Structure 1
């Protein structure tokens, strides 16, 4: 048996793509029809704005002159020019186009045509800072910065394809003015080139003159630098050898003597150390150490030793005099050892001094060798200075020749460009281009309209069709309850309530939608009986009470025993549909203060029973968890074929989750195109966590006419085809 439950893992679905990953085009078309009013409003507004802008635009005229960048020169003088002729690569041509459109050329044009006094540009120059005209021959004249900006904003220069031709254009509301200013830009560009070349030639002449004097001084200084370098680096020689070579020779002799002396002292120290280690007699040790003090101490000790021998032979080794002599011998031994150590220390010091002297001389020789190497390297520097002196003289001669060539070249400059076509007065406006503007306006309008449709669809989190319900919530669509205004005749819309219309028009589409919903709901568990149904939704205002009441009336009218229980403790929406006051209801029944028959109210129109809630009787918020509630539900199951529980919204209070677990099925309602998808998922997750059985979803307040037009894939999409089966 296949039962649908609200599994949270099924709540993350997305729309199917039946055509190999591509969205269903019919579904896209249905979505577009749904947003057609928005599309028409946005697209129409954008296109109307484009039309208005085009119609109100002031006609403008564009005049164009053509300038040729010509790298070929007529060489009147066979001399190199101060400014070399232009190369023929593309970057140079593009650079010249930028120069034509530069502020320098713009200042020339404004000054030449007095455009700062023209009404079209004077308003831009009013109050703007006046700048010094950077033009040849224009010293002291100023032009308003604002006028230059205004002129440049209407001027353009661009290369024609990959040629050397540059089009210079100007746009104005006056066609004659456009041609005049475009030609002025072309002429002033040529004039600026000539002025730049003349200025460069004059500047080069002055610079060469100053450079010649500098080169002359540098050549004279180069010779003096060679001699000074020789003196500073000790390159002077005497007797065929440099001072560094003579110094190294003397140091070699001194090092040989120091090494011989060092060897002698090291030998004496080694002999003394060997004698001491062998423990030789006093005479040998004294001779090895060369110490008179040691020899004297050795002699004195020998005398004391003989005296000891006499005393021992006379008195024996333990006599006090013998002990006294032994003490004297020990004292002499201590003095001799101390003197030996002192002499050895002196010998070691002499060896250390000899070694240091040798090392110092060797270090001095290394320094001298370094000086000699420096002298050799200095010879390289000397040769470099001599070459530098020769190069300085060569440069001086080259500058002298260049100065003569520049003086001969003065006055022979030619521009690297020429005007090949002057601008003519345009006969037709260049802007606005009505056809282009309307075409672009239409394109932008369609794009804006589609963008608004896509945005609206992306922001719309409501559910409209069974396909969306299945693939976003993971549950089937049990039914769709239309809003009465979309199916009822005009005469019935304002005169009948939906629950009354259900009974008076049993063959209507409205009544049939409830029959279909009841059939789907009662068969949702297959062969198992669905007797207690909890009707709920995620949020308020989604039609729970109306749906519950209409289902009860429809089932009662079909002959079933039906009871509709108002379980909304806070709003009592179902109770408010009853005529007259309610003094006893559900809470009195649960508290044992009234019997079931006392609290039930008969709906005379259909025969259904209603279990209301008396006003002000609610006291225990956990009343639905009590055993009394289980007992009431058991009694209702025994007495009625169908028990409908009108519960509050799931996200509002927790009562519904308690009742949902005690019902055979939970009818979950969503308001068509209104209930947010995330709210629906959150509510279903709570129901799933509580273990409630949710067989599916029912959409309420569906506009069948709109759904028939835009709800592709939904049963209501075919409402127009089956409408003849319904009778109002």
Structure 2
């Protein structure tokens, strides 16, 4: 988030420019281009209470206060049908704000009028208003008139707003036009037409219900008369028994069934006695015969011990008596069963007649009830026709607005301010995202994970040879302080033993490492150190561009044995240090620096000098720096401010790390202090930068 804020701050000028342009355009729209519009609002309340003066149920009941009802009424208020009534009532087809534009000439070549004046001329003044004529033609099926009327309705709908007050039954009707009085008139008329429409709907429903009830009553009366005639005819043709008489008949049937059950039981008993008597006689079991026969004479004969013949004779008499009783019981049973069948048939017939009669009476009663209900409803509706009331009322008529509702200047300015900020940020952020350069020390440290030991600003000189003169002439300048800070950081990188051999390199050419190396050498000599400056970039030799050097032999001459180190170095009094220049090599430069002679040279330099500074080629181009770095005590990696990409820096450091080389620290070079301040950053070397207003052309360090 902090990096995003910093990115926006760096592009603040673009953002301010975008905001100013947006606000200027907003001012033009609000004060010159926009037409003032006036909004008038009417408030209508939906009545959810039934106020029935006559306490009679109406055809159309009151509106329930449900969400569905509220949404339905909103739909009615926004309906094209109601708006069409508004258009006709106010003759809006003749209003220039709503009048349809002229239509295209049809294929038959006959021009069709489209303006209000043309429609009036076509219809004539005696036909009413322009809108009346247009509505009549549309109702008659004229498609052209229908399209014109629909166009007017669409325009009115675009100027009309209908909403509901939250948590209430209040509807807001707002009209917006270029005329304040017209807006109030449209809003109030629309509300009035809505209320009249509710009454009209109820009136039409009541009329339709009355007509239907009148027609239905005639049919019901005929049905009632037919039902009553059917009851009378049935009663005449059939003997109708009362329910009480049917109950008595049913009781008689039940009594007969009880007697029949008793006869059946008696018959079964007689049969059992006859069978038992026969069995006892056959077995000459006189005791059993006595128990079954129930004949006192037989009992006495058996008790006196009469002969078997006398006993058998008496048994025959007993059996004959039982046979007579059985025959009599069978005859009684048959007679009783016949009587029961007759009673049941008569009961069923009388019961069916009674059920049919009662059904006819119920039909008469139902027909009479329905007839009386419909007759009562017809009388109720007739009484209500003059007492129909709307379900809504106007609680706050629209007043003529005193000031325009549009344009809302503050809203326009706010929106344009937001748009300007978004557009400005949209310009700045992609630029920042596409920009790959590193601008601050913390940013460089975060990208590489290594410490930034120095931040070197641009030197206000146009020639390279003037750069060192600047450091000598202005020892308290920001650039000089930055080099001193780098020197101090290098010395303190190893507290126990300060680095003696210091190597400088970079990812790519022209990143300021050479100037930094020379300035660093000049700074060390200020401490009274014996300093040797070696030009290790023998492919791209630039020391002569900075220093006035006479000798042509240098590094390679020492390595080849042609000269001793003391003979090859040249004293430069501007930096007060010895310089060993590079020479063009016939062999590969990496092989030169990998040789034992070069190692011996560095060892000899350690003995002869307090500080040895080696300027080496870029890491990403040649391997020379990685070879030399193994002999150095400190490796300083130069990164050009706002130019070298993070990818190149990390790639170069990765090559160094893969070679087992530890980079001591980074130096951010060629910092444009003025641009850095615009980005909201500073390199933090005292207050010297606040005293100089540099006007000369900068030379990149």
TM more than 0.5: yes
Secondary structure of the structure 2 residue equivalent to 1:432: coil
**Which of residues 495, 500, 508 is equivalent to 2:469?**
500
Deviations 1:337-390 (A, max 9, x none): xxxxxxxxxxxxxxxxxxxxxxxxxxxxxxxxxxxxxxxxxxxxxxxxxxxxx9
Q: What residue in structure 2 maps to residue 423 of structure 1?
A: 398
Looking at structure 1, the residues matched to 442 and 451 of structure 2 have their Cα atoms a distance apart, in angstroms, of: 8
Looking at structure 2, the residues matched to 657 and 74 of structure 1 have their Cα atoms a distance apart, in angstroms, of: 101
Q: What residue in structure 1 maps to residue 87 of structure 2?
A: 110
Pair 574,427 (structure 1): closer, same or farther in 2 beyond 3 Å: same
Q: What residue in structure 2 maps to residue 154 of structure 1?
A: 159
Q: What residue in structure 1 maps to residue 534 of structure 2?
A: 565
Looking at structure 2, the residues matched to 572 and 406 of structure 1 have their Cα atoms a distance apart, in angstroms, of: 118
Q: TM-score, normalised by structure 2?
A: 0.59
**Which of residues 188, 194, 197 is equivalent to 1:189?**
194
Are 1:584 and 1:614, in contact at CA under 8 Å, matched by a contact in 2?
Answer: yes
Q: What residue in structure 2 maps to residue 119 of structure 1?
A: 96
Looking at structure 2, the residues matched to 539 and 398 of structure 1 have their Cα atoms a distance apart, in angstroms, of: 107
Are 2:9 and 2:680, in contact at CA under 8 Å, matched by a contact in 1?
Answer: no
Are 1:533 and 1:644, in contact at CA under 8 Å, matched by a contact in 2?
Answer: yes
Are 2:49 and 2:62, in contact at CA under 8 Å, matched by a contact in 1?
Answer: yes
Are 1:71 and 1:88, in contact at CA under 8 Å, matched by a contact in 2?
Answer: yes
Pair 677,620 (structure 1): closer, same or farther in 2 beyond 3 Å: closer
Pair 97,698 (structure 1): closer, same or farther in 2 beyond 3 Å: same
Are 1:124 and 1:150, in contact at CA under 8 Å, matched by a contact in 2?
Answer: no
Are 1:60 and 1:431, in contact at CA under 8 Å, matched by a contact in 2?
Answer: yes
Q: How many angstroms does 1:155 deviate by?
A: 1.4
Of stretches 27-36 and 49-58 in structure 1, the one that deviates more from structure 2 is 27-36
Gaps of 5+ in 1: 1-14, 16-22, 216-389, 486-491, 724-728
Are 1:567 and 1:645, in contact at CA under 8 Å, matched by a contact in 2?
Answer: yes
Pair 66,125 (structure 1): closer, same or farther in 2 beyond 3 Å: farther
Secondary structure of the structure 2 residue equivalent to 1:521: helix
Deviations 1:183-222 (A, max 9, x none): 232233234434544565677789999999999xxxxxxx
Q: Please state if 1:481 is matched with 2:486.
A: no
Report matched runs for 1:642-653 at 5 Å: 642-653=611-622
Pair 75,31 (structure 1): closer, same or farther in 2 beyond 3 Å: closer
Are 2:98 and 2:155, in contact at CA under 8 Å, matched by a contact in 1?
Answer: yes
Q: How many angstroms does 1:409 deviate by?
A: 3.7
Secondary structure of the structure 2 residue equivalent to 1:715: coil
Are 2:594 and 2:627, in contact at CA under 8 Å, matched by a contact in 1?
Answer: yes
Deviations 1:95-153 (A, max 9, x none): 423431233333333344443443333467967999xx999995646244443333222
Q: How many angstroms does 1:540 deviate by?
A: 4.2
Q: What residue in structure 2 maps to residue 527 of structure 1?
A: 496
Q: How many angstroms does 1:457 deviate by?
A: 7.8
Looking at structure 1, the residues matched to 550 and 209 of structure 2 have their Cα atoms a distance apart, in angstroms, of: 113
Deviations 1:659-715 (A, max 9, x none): 323321111223345544555444434433333233322222234466679777963
Of stretches 34-43 and 399-408 in structure 1, the one that deviates more from structure 2 is 399-408
Q: What residue in structure 1 maps to residue 346 of structure 2?
A: none
Are 1:556 and 1:562, in contact at CA under 8 Å, matched by a contact in 2?
Answer: yes
Pair 210,519 (structure 1): closer, same or farther in 2 beyond 3 Å: farther
Are 1:535 and 1:666, in contact at CA under 8 Å, matched by a contact in 2?
Answer: yes
Of stretches 647-656 and 692-701 in structure 1, the one that deviates more from structure 2 is 647-656
Report matched runs for 1:72-471 at 5 Å: 72-75=49-52, 80-122=57-99, 138=139, 140=141, 142-144=146-148, 145-197=150-202, 405=377, 409=381, 414-435=389-410, 437-438=412-413, 466-468=441-443
Q: How many angstroms does 1:498 deviate by?
A: 1.9
Q: CA RMSD in A?
A: 5.2
* Relative contact order higher in (CA < 8 Å, ≥ 6 apart): 1
Q: Please state if 1:68 is matched with 2:73.
A: no
Looking at structure 2, the residues matched to 119 and 163 of structure 1 have their Cα atoms a distance apart, in angstroms, of: 37
**Aligned residue-pair number:** 519
Q: What residue in structure 1 maps to residue 329 of structure 2?
A: none
Deviations 1:3-36 (A, max 9, x none): xxxxxxxxxxxx9xxxxxxx8xxx9999987665
Looking at structure 2, the residues matched to 596 and 665 of structure 1 have their Cα atoms a distance apart, in angstroms, of: 22
Looking at structure 2, the residues matched to 467 and 520 of structure 1 have their Cα atoms a distance apart, in angstroms, of: 16
Q: What residue in structure 2 maps to residue 641 of structure 1?
A: 610
Deviations 1:456-478 (A, max 9, x none): 88887765555555555444432
Are 1:564 and 1:608, in contact at CA under 8 Å, matched by a contact in 2?
Answer: yes
Secondary structure of the structure 2 residue equivalent to 1:528: coil
Q: Please state if 1:715 is matched with 2:684.
A: yes
Q: How many angstroms does 1:161 deviate by?
A: 4.7
Are 1:584 and 1:598, in contact at CA under 8 Å, matched by a contact in 2?
Answer: no
Secondary structure of the structure 2 residue equivalent to 1:484: coil
Q: TM-score, normalised by structure 1?
A: 0.57
Of stretches 137-146 and 643-652 in structure 1, the one that deviates more from structure 2 is 137-146
Q: What residue in structure 2 maps to residue 4 of structure 1?
A: none
Looking at structure 1, the residues matched to 371 and 592 of structure 2 have their Cα atoms a distance apart, in angstroms, of: 113
Secondary structure of the structure 2 residue equivalent to 1:96: helix
Secondary structure of the structure 1 residue equivalent to 2:488: helix
Q: How many angstroms does 1:481 deviate by?
A: 1.5
**Which of residues 12, 17, 28 is equivalent to 1:52?**
28
Looking at structure 2, the residues matched to 524 and 640 of structure 1 have their Cα atoms a distance apart, in angstroms, of: 19
Secondary structure of the structure 1 residue equivalent to 2:602: helix
Looking at structure 2, the residues matched to 657 and 403 of structure 1 have their Cα atoms a distance apart, in angstroms, of: 115
Q: What residue in structure 2 maps to residue 688 of structure 1?
A: 657
Deviations 1:293-330 (A, max 9, x none): xxxxxxxxxxxxxxxxxxxxxxxxxxxxxxxxxxxxxx
Are 1:168 and 1:182, in contact at CA under 8 Å, matched by a contact in 2?
Answer: yes
Looking at structure 2, the residues matched to 135 and 84 of structure 1 have their Cα atoms a distance apart, in angstroms, of: 33
Are 1:461 and 1:677, in contact at CA under 8 Å, matched by a contact in 2?
Answer: yes
Are 2:487 and 2:520, in contact at CA under 8 Å, matched by a contact in 1?
Answer: yes
Looking at structure 2, the residues matched to 419 and 127 of structure 1 have their Cα atoms a distance apart, in angstroms, of: 42
Q: What residue in structure 2 maps to residue 659 of structure 1?
A: 628
Gaps of 5+ in 2: 107-113, 115-133, 221-361, 693-701
Pair 207,493 (structure 1): closer, same or farther in 2 beyond 3 Å: farther
Deviations 1:242-294 (A, max 9, x none): xxxxxxxxxxxxxxxxxxxxxxxxxxxxxxxxxxxxxxxxxxxxxxxxxxxxx
Looking at structure 2, the residues matched to 394 and 623 of structure 1 have their Cα atoms a distance apart, in angstroms, of: 127
Pair 434,548 (structure 1): closer, same or farther in 2 beyond 3 Å: same
Secondary structure of the structure 1 residue equivalent to 2:625: helix
Q: What residue in structure 2 maps to residue 511 of structure 1?
A: 480
Looking at structure 1, the residues matched to 590 and 379 of structure 2 have their Cα atoms a distance apart, in angstroms, of: 112
Q: How many angstroms does 1:46 deviate by?
A: 4.2
Looking at structure 2, the residues matched to 691 and 632 of structure 1 have their Cα atoms a distance apart, in angstroms, of: 22
Report matched runs for 1:545-564 at 5 Å: 545-556=514-525, 560-564=529-533
Q: How many angstroms does 1:39 deviate by?
A: 5.2
Looking at structure 1, the residues matched to 561 and 412 of structure 2 have their Cα atoms a distance apart, in angstroms, of: 82
Pair 395,538 (structure 1): closer, same or farther in 2 beyond 3 Å: farther
Are 1:194 and 1:415, in contact at CA under 8 Å, matched by a contact in 2?
Answer: yes
